Every structure is written in structure tokens, then in C-alpha cells.
Structure 1
Amino acid sequence: MRECKLAYLLVGGVILACVSMGQYAVLIFIPALGSLVLLYTVSWQSVHVWTFLLQMAWQTGCHLWLMYRQHYLEETLPIKLTITISSLMLLTQKVTSLAMDLHERKVALTADGCMKKSSHIPWKNNVLYTLSYLMFFPALLGGPLCSFVEFQQQVSRASMCTNLRRAWTVTRGCMLFMLLQALQVVLIKKVNFEGNLMDCKNLQCVYVMWSTALLFKLTYYSHWLLDEALFHTAGFSTELYSHMSVCDGNIFTLETTNKISVFARTWNKSTAKWLRRLIFQNCQRRRTLYTFAFSAWWHGLHPGQIFGFLCWAVMLEADYRIHKYYGSKPFFPRVLYNTLTWLQTQLIIAYIMLAVEMKNLAFMLALCFSYNTIFPAIYCILLFLLPEKKGAAPKHTLPHR
């Protein structure tokens, strides 16, 4: 029964890759099989280093090839190629997550494919389990990062989530998805985002920036809801996810928080946790900077992405210091303080999101020389003016995909 479930997830992933990516699916199959070979041949002490370097080298090469075709050859990229690159980024998460589990000796895989917590059981790969984890279709094109242990627990369950509960979750997800898609259509008709931001004047640029960022956020929110519905359609449930929720973002928290740090931890939560574990916790100094710099590398190293993520790192440090300083002093009434910081948070996030999503240098320069730069500039000034308080380091994490 377990083997049937694994085969179902693996074959479904292969079929989905071929249908959605076409000939570019080979860019996914090669690193997946290559990672499997590494897990067979490399010792647990160094497997995380080899998998990280080779996976990121392959992904970076694909990103550079994409940039060459897009900017130098000025080609219109096929949608299947864009889907492939996005799926490759998700594959990098799963490969490095499994490699870190092995290196840290948190888990060991026995010959029968059962995951057990042990520091003594030798690593014996089960090909079907590993390939199914890397290619299972509910998380191939989107969705949160599921650890190997959680994946094994879900597959090993005697029964899937009840049909009634599954039907309700899928129906709710699809209805909310269609609602957000309808809002996007209405917004697109009112905002010609790229042209308006390049040509806007004065404070009109603030409105264009906010509405364009809202369009991008609606896209992410709708995809996350659809990903959750797909998880339940495949028979997965959220009950065994003790360290994560299936949905990658709490929309209410994202839209109401007045702290950039809270937004960073809530936006694409599983990716944020992955980056914290992979980079942040392994750096002794300048953790936030290195984490966001790596995220720019992981996303593709476009000029806008480099600028956007480094700006995010600075804004996160400023946000932590501002709330540490003003949050404990009765300078402002609490309602006024929360309102002002909420407005700043939403506008700064919109600024960063446009830089990251639009990517190219010309758009980034237009954004930098617009009135929108006032908002991150305020936080930059406060970062240098306010004293740094001693205390526990902030739990900075990075979002986004």
C-alpha cells in the first residue's frame, strides 16, 4: 500500500512536469537524479556541502541562461521555461533540506524506507522514497516546503483525511482563489503598472507603487490557497505538520502587521524557515545580510532582486531598532504609533516587492528616483540615528519566492 502511494505521487509528478514544462522538464530530472546519486555515494558528514554546491551551481547556470535569453537576445521567454525555473528553486529547497537532516543526524533512513530518529543507524537510501519526495506532484510547482520526515509520516498514514473535510478544504480554496483572481482583473484594468511607474509624477507614484504591489500580493495569495487545495486533493492533511502550516502565508497578519520582521516571518513561511536554517543559523556575524544576499542568489541575481533583498535586509534591521526604541517609550499615542508604522511597513514592502518582481535595471532606477524612495529613506535615517540596544538577536528570516 505504501509503495502504491509513493508510485502514485512520483508518477503524478513526472507527468505533471512533462505536461507543464515540456522539453524543459529535463532541467528538473537531471538535478533530481544527480541528487539521488550524491545521497548514495557521499558520506553523511559532507553530503550537505556537495548537494548545496552542485544544486546551486545548476540552478545558477539555468538562471544565467534565462537572463541571457531575456536581456541579451531579447527573446520572449516561454511560459514553460518560467515554470521550470520556479520548480527548480523548489527542488533546491527539498534537496538541501534532506541533506541537512542527514548531516545533522536528525534522521536516518532504514532499508525498508521508514524514517527514524537516530544518530547511529547508517544511511541506506530508498530510491522510491527519495525520488517521490523530490518529485511528488502536490509540491512540484508550488506549495510549502515539506520535510522528509513529514512526507514519510503523511505517506505512512493508514487513512487520508476524511472526504468531507477534504471536499470542504478544496472547495474553500478554489472559491477564495477565484475571488482573488476577480480582484486582480479589476485592479489590472485600473493600473498599467510598468508603464505608469516609469512615467508617473510626484505623489502619483506612491499610488501606482501600492496598487501594483497589491496586484503581486493577490497573485501570491491566490496561488498559496490553490496549493493548499492541491495538498488536500492528493490526500495530504495539515494535522501532522507540527512546525508549519500548509498555507505559506496568513493574509490577515500580512496585511495588518506594523512590523517588517513579522511580515518577513509570515510571508512564504516555509521558505523563511528554510533560509533561517540554511544560512541564518550558520552565520556568526551579519546574519541578516548574508541571509538576504543568499536569497537574491537563489532568486536569480537580477539587478532588481539584488537591490530589493539587500534593501529588505537594511529595512529589517531598522524595523527591529525602531520598535525596540519607540515601542518602549510613550512618545506617541499607541494608536497613532501603530498606524504610522503600519503605513510605513506596507509602503516599504510595496517598494521592495516592485524592485524584486520587475527585476530589470531600468525599472529599478526609475523606482529609486521616484518619490517612493522617501519611505525606505526614513527608516535608513532612523537606523543610523537610533542607538543599538543590547539584547537577544532578532529572529530575522527571509520570505519570497
Structure 2
Amino acid sequence: MDWLQLFFLQPVSLYQGAAFPFALLFNYLCITDSFSTHARYLFLLVGGSALAVAAMGSFAVLVFTPALCAVVLICLLGPRDVHRWTFLFQMSWQTLCHLGLHYTEYYLQEAPSTRFYITLSSLMLLTQRVTSLSLDICEGKAEAASGGIRSKSSLYEHLCKALPYFSYLLFFPALLGGPLCSFQRFQARVQGPSSLYPRHSFWALTWRGLQILGLECLKVVMRWVVSTGAGLTDCRQLQCIFVMWSSAGLFKLTYYSHWILDDSLLHAAGFGPESDQSPGEKGYIPDADIWTLETTHKISLFTRKWNQSTARWLRRLIFQQGRTWPLMQTFVFSAWWHGLHPGQVFGFLCWAVMLEADYLIHTRVNLFIRSWPMWLLYRTLTWAHTQLIIAYIMLAVEVRSLSALWLLCNSYNSVFPTVYCILLFLLVKRKHKFN
């Protein structure tokens, strides 16, 4: 299996760590009020550009170009049209870049550059910020800049109007990772005084550092377990279940560590929860809620808590806009956004079906369970089943080759999603009959 390509996150973590001193410097200069508003925007923009060049090399052009085009569209189009056109352009550009990855991997049979993987990851995050900003403008939550370029203002005034948008799309704490920060929170943070006190920041960052250290130690153990055991190619019967669970556990630990590091960088720059002062704005939500993810017995709750800011973004962008089959539309778009690899298409469609089954199963069963021992037994069994289904979906999404996906589908692991598919069919049939 070539699932080890996931660990391109390791060089990303190195670049994120290198950005920490600059994040702390930015926060300190904001606390001491040593920066004007324009200087703050420029600091974040220049830092993002430098980080992009350092991490991506010449591939950074693939990030700078759509960011520039998005700002031009925002400045040219009215609030009614800006979201549609920025969405189409950004997703078209990102899809072309993903097709380049497909061409390299499947046609040329070559391993793409790590820098290209980092570029694609940054492009996906840029898509989040572009569409979030365009939706804010469309809904009246952010000031529209339409007509700015066509007005008779000087070039300097045009650049000053466009600077907040450029800075938001490329600011360095969120360029390579991190929870989605809304343009409202970004603007309020840059224009207002810092609310992050050094003492509180020190203890918060120390706690996050200890979490990362613990996760990295667990990763070493889990990597040893995976490397010394059998793979999907040579596992036998029930042994394949342990192979799937341990491999998915390594994936999850890698993501948890990376998300906490990204969250720490945003926190160090002052974009964390303590700086959220916008009235009516939803609170800051970190991507990793490890306790809930590892203890929940519901796929629906896992889905809402896994990469929380992305889940909230998908809900706003697709689910709330869809009129027919919004759940399926959301997961189809998620597969498109991730790159449309065969495993991703299969994995996200499987996820959607499992989610539908999860809703019906838990709604139905909760009507009959009355005693505490039965509830505990039900909770334990559904927790184990949920974790194994999530492990199955995760491996399907992460594998690149069709042969690896076939090995997964042809193993004993397919029993777990099959059980939910059968229950979904029976419950839907019973529901129609009752109606």
C-alpha cells in the first residue's frame, strides 16, 4: 500500500514550526500597538508569500495566481454574482491541479514532488477562504468591494482596498493548515487590539505542546505496530480487521498532531478563541476534538467533529444550499474538493450511506431501550462498530491505487459497512410500509 504518502504532513509541520517566531512577533507587535493597520496586513501577506515560496518552491505560483484572480473578481463583481464566479474559478483551478496529480501518478507512474502535495493542500485551504469570503459578501456579512477597480481612485487607493482581501487569502498562520478563520474575525483581529495576554498564551501553548508530544509518542508506537505486522496484501481473515484498525489509528494520530500544531500557530498569532470579539459571530472551533472523536458511538457526531471547521464550511457551502439530497451533494462535493481519487469517491459515498443508516438506526433503537444495562451494551457495541466503519472509510479515502482499494473491499472489513447497509435497507423499507 502507498498510504505512506500521507506523511507529506511531516514537512508541512516543519514549516509550520518555523513560522512560530513570526506569529509570536506579530502578536507582540499588536499588543504593543507598534503596527498600523496597513502594516499588519502587509506583515501577514509578506509572511504568507515567503512561507509559500519556502514550502512550495516554484509551485507557489499555483497558489498566488488564484488568490490574485479571486481578489480581482471580488473587486469587479457585485455581491449577487461574486460567489458564483469565484466558486467556479477556484474549483476549476484546483481541479486542474488535481488532474495534474492524477496524470503524474496514474499515467506517468511517477511519485509527485512533496512540494506539489503541499501546494495542493494549500490550494484546498485557499478554496475554503475564497468561498467563505464570497459567501460573506453575498450575505452582507462583509463589505463588498465591487466597483473599486472601475472607480476613479488612484492606484494606491485601489491597492489599499484590495490589501485586506489579499492578506486574508494568503496570511501565513493559515496558509498551510489550521481551522478556517472567517474574514470577519480576521479583520477584527487585525484592526483591533490584541486580547491575548502573554501569560495566558504561554500556558495555552505549553498545553498544546504537551498534547503534540504525547501524540507523537503514540505515533511511534503505532508506526512500529503497523510496520511489524501484516498488511492488507498478506493478512488472513480476522487479522485484516486489526490491520485496518491499526493503520487508521496511525492516520488519526497524524491528523490530530497536525491539527493541534496548526491551531497553536493561529493561537500564537492571536487568531485563537481568546481574540474572538465579533458580536453574533460563531465561536472559534479547533479542528481536533479528540475525546469526542474517540468515544462517540454515532457516525453523525464523528462527522460533525472530524475536522470541525471544514465540516462547518461544507455545511454552509453545500448542505444548506442543497434542495434535493443535500447530504449526498455534500459528500460528492467533498470527494471533488479532495481530488476525486477512486478511493476518495468510494470512501465519501460510503460515508454518506453510513451516515443515513446511522440516523435511522439510532432514532429507531432509542425508542426501545429502557434499562441501563441494555443501554450500556448498546452503547459499547455501536461504539466499536462506529470506530471500525470510520477506520474502513479512512483507509478507503487514503489509499491511492485501485488494487489497494480492492484488497480493502475484498477483506473481512467490508462486513461492518455491509451490516449498516442491510439495516438501512430494512429500516427504509419498513418506514415506507408504515407510511
Q: Which residue of 2 aligns with 1:4?
A: 39
Which string of whole-angstrom CA distances, capped at 9 and with x for unpartnered residues, describes residues 171-224 of structure 1?
Answer: 222222122112111111121399701221100000010010000000110011
Letter in 2 for 1:309: F
1: CA distance between counterparts of 2:67 and 2:187? 18
Letter in 2 for 1:70: E
2: CA distance between counterparts of 1:126 and 1:195? 58
Is the 8 Å Cα contact of residues 229 and 243 (structure 2) preserved in structure 1? no
2: CA distance between counterparts of 1:209 and 1:260? 18
2: CA distance between counterparts of 1:193 and 1:281? 46
Note the 1:1-400 alignment, pairs <5 A.
1-109=36-144, 126-192=161-227, 196-241=231-276, 242-330=281-369, 333-387=374-428
Q: Which residue of 2 aligns with 1:399?
A: none
Which string of whole-angstrom CA distances, capped at 9 and with x for unpartnered residues, describes residues 295-326 of structure 1?
Answer: 00000000000000000000000000000100
TM-score for both structures, normalised by structure 1 = 0.91
TM-score for both structures, normalised by structure 2 = 0.84
Is the 8 Å Cα contact of residues 76 and 145 (structure 2) preserved in structure 1? no
2: CA distance between counterparts of 1:369 and 1:4? 58
Long gaps (5+) in structure 2: 1-35, 149-158
Is the 8 Å Cα contact of residues 160 and 236 (structure 1) preserved in structure 2? no
Letter in 1 for 2:421: C
2: CA distance between counterparts of 1:59 and 1:147? 21
Which string of whole-angstrom CA distances, capped at 9 and with x for unpartnered residues, describes residues 108-167 of structure 1?
Answer: 2579x9xxxxxxxxxx98211001100011110000111110111111221241111112
2: CA distance between counterparts of 1:88 and 1:189? 33
Percent identity, aligned pairs only? 54
1: CA distance between counterparts of 2:275 and 2:210? 25
Is the 8 Å Cα contact of residues 244 and 270 (structure 1) preserved in structure 2? no
- Shift in alpha-carbon separation, 1:199–1:125, aligned structure 2, 3 A: farther
Higher gyration radius (CA)? 2
1: CA distance between counterparts of 2:228 and 2:98? 25
Identify the range of structure 1 (74-83 vs 232-241) with the bigger mean alpha-carbon deviation.
232-241
Give SS of 2:194's match: coil
Long gaps (5+) in structure 1: 114-123, 391-401
Give SS of 2:178's match: coil
Is the 8 Å Cα contact of residues 75 and 145 (structure 2) preserved in structure 1? no
Is the 8 Å Cα contact of residues 354 and 417 (structure 2) preserved in structure 1? yes
1: CA distance between counterparts of 2:237 and 2:75? 59
Identify the range of structure 1 (381-390 vs 321-330) with the bigger mean alpha-carbon deviation.
381-390
Letter in 1 for 2:270: G
Q: Which residue of 1 aligns with 2:11?
A: none
Is the 8 Å Cα contact of residues 356 and 424 (structure 2) preserved in structure 1? yes
Letter in 1 for 2:356: E
Which string of whole-angstrom CA distances, capped at 9 and with x for unpartnered residues, describes residues 1-51 of structure 1?
Answer: 211211111111011101011111000000000101111111211111111
Give SS of 2:176's match: coil
- Shift in alpha-carbon separation, 1:267–1:125, aligned structure 2, 3 A: farther
- Shift in alpha-carbon separation, 1:13–1:94, aligned structure 2, 3 A: same
- Shift in alpha-carbon separation, 1:389–1:168, aligned structure 2, 3 A: farther
Give SS of 2:71's match: helix
Identify the range of structure 1 (158-167 vs 307-316) with the bigger mean alpha-carbon deviation.
158-167
1: CA distance between counterparts of 2:229 and 2:364? 37
Is the 8 Å Cα contact of residues 110 and 125 (structure 1) preserved in structure 2? no
Q: Say how many residue pairs are matched.
A: 380
Is the 8 Å Cα contact of residues 75 and 162 (structure 2) preserved in structure 1? no
Is the 8 Å Cα contact of residues 193 and 208 (structure 1) preserved in structure 2? no
Structure with greater helix percent:
2
